[in-house]
Structure 1
Amino acid sequence: MPSNAVNKAATQRGALKKNVMSLLGVYGPSDSMQALVRMPGGRVRTVKPGARLSGGRVAAIDADGLIVQKNGQAERIPLLQ
């Protein structure tokens, strides 16, 4: 793919919602996966299970996304499509 096409694909306007946490990717062996998360303010963080994240704690990470435990509720954050 020509670099111009890659640049356009990687910088689509509106691809990420502002002020919302977005899961960019997951990686690593299945028994110790990590996730790349874009925080509402735009900062990108790498997290593991147990990490604090947006007022909650990362309960699990799998190939489909991550689960955040917050106020006794579990919320799945899916991978961006």
Structure 2
Amino acid sequence: MFSTGSVLSERFRLEGPPIGAGSTVEVWPATELATGRAVVVKVLHRHLVDPADIGAAANSASAAIGLAGPAGVAVLGVFSGDGRWWLVA
């Protein structure tokens, strides 16, 4: 599902190979299709997606949507599809 050129949620196109990875996420450069704005997509590793826990994580991330400041990054949304979850900033 995630590869260069993939379009997620009909809104974001992955633009290259992952630029980073950690114990919980893989980070991809992407473009918001409606605006052409460069964004970052953080994809939660599949083995961490537990339906019992994902609700709390999504609620926390959703609370940050629209918040931004000089020392912060604006969260554009939390999305899911095909059993995967990702955050766009």
Normalising by structure 1, what TM-score?
A: 0.26
Larger proportion of strand: 1
Larger proportion of helix: 2
The structure that has the greater radius of gyration is 1
